[in-house]
Each structure stands twice: as structure tokens, then as C-alpha cells.
Amino acid sequence: MLYAFNPLVVAAVLSLLLASCSSAPEAPEAQASNVNVATKSPIRSSIVGSWRDDFNALDTTRWALSNSGWKPFWAKDGLNGTWNPANVTVSGGYLVMKLDVTPGLVASAAELATHAKYGYGRYEARLRAASSSANPAVRGHGVSGNITAFFNFVNDSQTEIDHEIEGQNRTTDWIGTWQTTNRHDYGTGGTGTDLSQDFHTYRWDWAPTKVDFYIDGVLKRTITSVVPATEAHLMFNLWPTNSTLWGGKSTAGTQYMLVDYVSFTPSH
């Protein structure tokens, strides 16, 4: 479900349900993320040039944190709760994003987005998908009932480019592009490894005629059929699910998504 757009809020829609029956393969489901960036003027990628954030501190001149001012798209399937800016912290050179879910299906999720918008170029992040460990040196365990996402978004998916990892299927990276919520190209990048156990490098190279998706430097998919052409905000989020079709049934407890760094290099 999409919500009325508030001009003071940047909305992000991460996936439209593609599976039509229980026997069909899993596929992304509609979602809308909201970050208040009204106090910042968007900066075009041609102005800001290359940058990298190693998360030695939380730079609020670059990042806006989602809060409880907007009803979360994931408040369905019995789930309730909010985006909580306190769930986004920095520790030891890592961005730490926390998801709390109670046995009563009340969730506190995490999301942040750049104030600026960026265009064609290379986007890269080294991250560990959601697990029970907030310590980058210690493995935790992943559970069903969440989505880890690294993506960009603007204007009801006028541009959206995604890396998404399901809690219930942690060996698969869902990768795709959107130009509207009805025009998209989505597929998977299988890895054969549990992405909640170790850090991996996720990347997309966005050009006028194609988007190339990489995991750990290996090309996983090239999309030429749906190529966005509008600058967008770069985002991370960690949010709950309670569906066997996408993300998995809810699991009570706390999960953490960790990001080592993120970088952007514009095309020339």
C-alpha cells in the first residue's frame, strides 16, 4: 500500500509483491520508507563529487534518520510500531542499525537516508545483514521476519535501485530497479552463504543504459530493461515482516544490521 506523499518527507518504496500464489517464488513486497529531510536542500551528484563514509561518527549533515512522524509501511500482517532514530547509532567505526520486535508484534525499526540526491555512478557498501550480534567481530544468528536493505529512492520509485536480504532466506540478495511502482525489473543474486554471518561488499554501477549489480566484486546481474534516470537519495533500512511470502514470519527479539562503509563515485 502506498501513502499520500508529504512534501516534507522523502518516501521510499522498496518492493511490490510479485508472487501470486503460495507455490510461487518469493518476491519483493510493497513498502514505503520516510525520512524527514525538509531542512536540507538536495545537492546534485555533479556538485558533491565522490565521497565515502567510514562511520567514525554519525554525520547528520549527510544523513537524516526516520522517526515516528510517519506511519511505517510495514505496520500490517499483525505488526505495529515505528521507525526509531535511537535505533541508528555508530560504534567502533560501524553504523549499527537495530530492529526490536516484541512477542506482541510491536516493532521498533531503523532507517536513514542522505539529505542529498545522487545520479549515475558507482554505489558501494560493505555490510553484514541482520543478525543477533551487534559486535562486528562476533557472529550472531539470523532469524525470519526482517529485511536488510541498501538502496536509493526518489518520488514514489521514479528511481529505485535495490539490494535487499530476507531474514528467512539469507543466502539470496534480491536486486532490482524501478521507474514507477508498476515498472520494475527484479531478480536474485544467489551467494550460497549466509549473508548474516559475515560482511560482504554490495555495489551497483548505474549508467544511462544499464545497472550492473555486484557482490564481493562478482557481477551478479545486469539490468537494461528498466533503467532509472532521476537522481535519488541513498538509503539503508532494517525493518520487520510477518509474511511467508517476503521476509518471513516475525521472530521476537533484537537483530542488528552493521555497515562498515558506504561510498559513491559519480560517472564522468
pLDDT tens for 77-91 read: 999 999 999 999 999
141 has pLDDT over 50: yes
| pTM recorded for the entire structure | 0.84
Half-sphere exposure of 184 (CA within 13 A, CB side): 27
Residue 254's pLDDT is: 98
CB atoms near residue 18 (< 10 Å): 16
Please identify every residue annotated as catalytic.
Answer: 160, 164
Give per-residue burial for 175-207: e unless 16+ CB within 10 Å, then b.
Answer: bbbbbebeebbbebbebeeebbbebbebbbbbe
Once rounded to an integer, what is the mean pLDDT over residues 115-125? 97
CA nearest neighbour of 87 among 78, 76, 72 = 72
pLDDT at 233: 95
- pLDDT category at 179 given cuts 50, 70, 90 is confident
Domain limits, the chain: 10-18+25-266
Distance CA 132, CA 196 (A): 9
Lowest pLDDT segment from 16-20, 73-77, 238-242: 16-20
What is the CATH architecture of 10-18+25-266? Sandwich (2.60)
Q: What average pLDDT does the chain have?
A: 85
